[in-house]
Amino acid sequence: MVSMTRYPIQRVINWYYGNFCTRKCFNKDGRLFDCHKKFQIIANTNKNLMITHKEFKDLLDEGDIKICKLKPGFRKRTVGWTQFENWLNDSQFDPDKFD
């Protein structure tokens, strides 16, 4: 069941950034910094916006919000903690090589 509870945009951005961006681009500090700045622009210009997690993820997955530089298939993918730990230990990991 998907929660339809609406939260302030900053909270949803923090959730997305922590669970999607940092798990996929953990070894790309410059990219993470750029994306974080862009997310903060969205949050600061929409301070009163209330949105569900699903609505926000759908906006990013479908390209309505164009921040992520990853390929669409990988951008939409959810990364569990175990997979993230495996990638952390893989010196050859490159998020740009996923589709």
pLDDT at residue number 14: 97
**Mean per-residue pLDDT of the chain:** 93
Say whether pLDDT at 82 is over 60.
yes
**pLDDT tens digit sequence for 1-28:** 567 899 999 999 999 999 999 999 999 9
Pick the most confident of 38-47, 60-69, 71-80.
Answer: 38-47
pTM equals 0.89
Say whether pLDDT at 89 is over 60.
yes
Give 18-25's long-range contacts (Cβ < 8 A, gap of 24+).
19/79, 20/57, 20/78, 20/79, 21/68, 23/79, 23/84, 23/87, 24/70, 24/74, 24/75, 24/77, 24/79, 24/95, 25/70, 25/95
